[in-house]
Amino acid sequence: MRSNSESKGEQAVPDPSGVRDEFAFCNHWIEAPEGKKIEIKINSISHGYAHDGCILGGVEIKTSEDQTRTGYRFCSPNDRNTVLVSASNRVPIITFNRSGQHQIILEYKIVS
């Protein structure tokens, strides 16, 4: 996804019954023009996934300079209104789930 100014994204993961051994993943890459940064705001996360380590599902947002490392992980409705600003003009976002269906709504925009 390329961000021109301000956008919202919503991702729902399929709903097979029960807890699966393997995670389902959706990968997104938000990119702003060179020299700009990206602000990401968590608008909502479904309830029922708030476990230590986000073992059932959540979102990982990689805003650090070294994007090969694990990013910030969120899986609780209490994470609503959390705001992160990227260190560069790119932000990988990974949603993951191994139980039921969850919804994560993010808002993002270009900042200086």
Q: Which of 14, 8, 72 is nearest to 43 (CA)?
A: 8
12 vs 108, residue with greater confidence: 108
What tens digit of pLDDT does each residue of 21-54 get? 888 899 999 999 999 999 999 999 988 788 888 9
Superfamily of domain 6-111: Spermadhesin, CUB domain (2.60.120.290)
In this structure, how many other beta carbons lie within 10 angstroms of the beta carbon of residue 82? 15
Task: Report the alpha-carbon distance of residue 38 to residue 32 in Å, rounded.
Answer: 7
Q: What's the pLDDT score for residue 9?
A: 60
What tens digit of pLDDT does each residue of 86-104 get? 999 999 999 999 887 889 9
How far are the Cα atoms of 48, 89, 105 from residue 62, in angstroms, in the given order? 23, 11, 16
Q: With contact defined as beta carbons under 8 Å apart, do 110 and 3 qualify?
A: yes
What tens digit of pLDDT does each residue of 61-89 get? 999 999 999 999 999 999 999 999 999 99
Q: Hey, where are the domains in the chain? A: 6-111
